Amino acid sequence: MTVTRATFDEVMVPNYNPAGMVPVRGEGSRVWDQDGVEYIDFAGGIAVNVLGHCHPELVKVLNEQGSKLWHLSNVFTNEPALRLASKLVKATFAEKVYFANSGAEANEGALKLARRFALDNYGEDKNQIIAFNKGFHGRTFFTVTVGGQAAYSDGFGPKPGAVDHCDYNDLAAFEALISDKTCAVMMEPLQGEGGIISPDVEFIKGVRELCDKHNALLIFDEVQSGVGRTGHLYAYMGLGVTPDILTTAKSLGGGFPIGAMLTTTAIAAHLKAGTHGSTYGGNPLACAVAEKAFDIVNQPEVLEGVVQKEALYRELLTAINDKYDVFSEVRGQGMLLGCALNEKFQGRARDFMVAAANEHLMCLIAGANVIRFAPSLVIPDEDIKEGLARFERAVAAVAAGVNAE
């Protein structure tokens, strides 16, 4: 059966508008479409393909586990899930792990746990959840309501209640909002979809202190920032602030769907048997692949390499901007970077993404004014240089068009 991009419009729900080309094969940081055209991948499946495409060690584990055991349900446990959970516990603040299939599901579990913890310990009046404008926590109705972007949550009827928002990095606004009725605060320790916004140190430490003061749980959504993305295994490790609950997904599976919620024994105790679950969560196939991806990423040479590659990106992006004057700043950390457009190019991020695709480079946007890069953590320096040479041609094309207007 022959399929093309036109097939999408015929048979798929129109909630996506995918690119015109259809990728069919990937290796490392390179992808080929149906016509054999090669692209360099700076998108990483939206910060998922932490080791690029078809990493040989992940392929090996997938094949090995695929011939052993795929699925059991949580009526039974399994060895890959137990090994992966043990490694997550050993490497982080956490003592207990819950597995799901995605970041949204991990966040849903975290929010339900926080509400249950508060109900059990303080009563039903302690139910307020605070999150931040421009945040993103998933597409379930609960998580999209907690995410601070009305464009994603409006239009579906009454929303889950007792959810409030304030601006990220505005400690005074947060302090005015939090109270003894707050059960949890959910935040990204590096905002992704909202524009690649790093937290001020005073802000994130102030949030932690105010959570402690009001007996509110602090939930870090590390779905995008976790598993080496910032050059730390998890972003919290570079901030001097430890959450009560952490969620992780995307890079955790190296391209295979998996999510996890990490927390302490005392907090985890409130999700008693039967209070929450997932048919596929923690299945042996996903956990086996994730264990290998985690093992590879959690090595000093890989994490140090992320920092070095960030420096190369910044050096080359600065050179591009010196020539074309399109960015106000390059934001982010590690292999999660955002090129924020200056006043002349406001609202044009998608134009740069399309122009990059025309130059055979895959990249992302984070809102209308930020071009986002979330490549493999082990992308070769040669691919960074070649990809940014293609990006420069895209920047030149957009800049020429704007200057001609």
57-297 is classed CATH 3.40.640.10 = yes
pLDDT of residue 150: 87
The angle at the Cα of 82, spanning 77 to 87, to the nearest 5 degrees, equals: 165
DSSP 133: B
User: What digits encode the pLDDT tens for the residues 47-100?
Assistant: 999 999 999 999 999 999 999 999 999 999 999 999 999 999 999 999 999 999
Q: Which residues have a Cβ under 8 Å from the Cβ of 241 and sit 6 or more positions away?
A: 189, 204, 205, 207, 208, 218
pLDDT score of 271 more than 90: yes
pLDDT tens profile 346-375: 999 999 999 999 999 999 999 999 999 999
Q: Record the tokens describing residue 301, joined without a space.
A: 């040479």
- Which residue did the predictor score with more confidence, 157 or 59? 59
Alpha helices in 136-194 (DSSP H): 141-146, 150-153, 171-177
Dihedral in degrees, nearest 10, Cα atoms 312, 316, 319, 324: -140
Write down the pLDDT at residue 401.
80
pTM of the complete model? 0.96
Find, among 72, 80, 74, the residue nearest to 277 by Cα.
Answer: 74
- pLDDT for residue 87: 98
- % of the chain residues with pLDDT over 70: 99
pLDDT attached to residue 333: 97
Active site residue 132: no
CA 339 – CA 371 distance, rounded (Å)? 5
Give the confidence band of 249 by pLDDT, cuts at 50, 70, 90.
very high
129-138 exposure pattern, b = at least 16 Cβ within 10 A, e = fewer? bbbbbbbbbb
pLDDT at 403: 62
What distance in Å separates the CA atoms of residue 125 and residue 146, rounded to the nearest whole number?
18
Instruction: Decide if 250 is catalytic.
Output: yes
Per-residue model confidence (pLDDT) at position 148:
83
Judged against a pLDDT cut of 80, whether residue 238 lies above it is answered with yes
In this model, does residue 402 exceed pLDDT 70?
no
What amino acid occupies position 204? I
Query: What's the CA gap between 232 and 302, in Å, rounded?
Result: 10
Check 136, 142, 294, 345 and give the catalytic one.
136
Token duo for residue 228: 């080496």
288-347 pLDDT per residue, tens: 999 999 999 999 999 999 999 999 999 999 999 999 999 999 999 999 999 999 999 999
State phi, psi for 342 to the nearest 5 degrees: -80, 180
Higher pLDDT, 389 or 141: 389
3 state DSSP class of 265: helix
Name the catalytic one among 134, 250, 292, 309.
250
pLDDT of residue 404: 58
Q: Which helix (H) or strand (E) holds 261?
A: strand 259-263
**Residue 36 — left, alpha, or beta (φ > 0 → left; ψ -120 to 50 → alpha)?**
left
Q: What is the mean pLDDT of the chain?
A: 96
Six-digit token string for 50: 């932490």
pLDDT (0 to 100) of residue 405: 58
**pLDDT for the residue numbered 149:** 87
Exposed / middle / buried, residue 161 (Cβ in 10 Å: 0-12, 13-18, 19+): exposed
Fold of 5-54+300-404: Aspartate Aminotransferase, domain 1 (3.90.1150)
Order of strands, sheet of 38-41, starting from the edge strand that comes earlier in the sequence: 23-27, 30-33, 38-41, 361-362
Q: Which of 41, 221, 351, 383 is catalytic?
A: 221
136 carries an active-site annotation: yes
pLDDT digits (tens, 9 = 90+) for 103-133: 999 999 999 999 999 999 999 999 999 999 9
Instruction: Sketch the domain layout of the chain as residue ranges.
Output: 5-54+300-404, 57-297
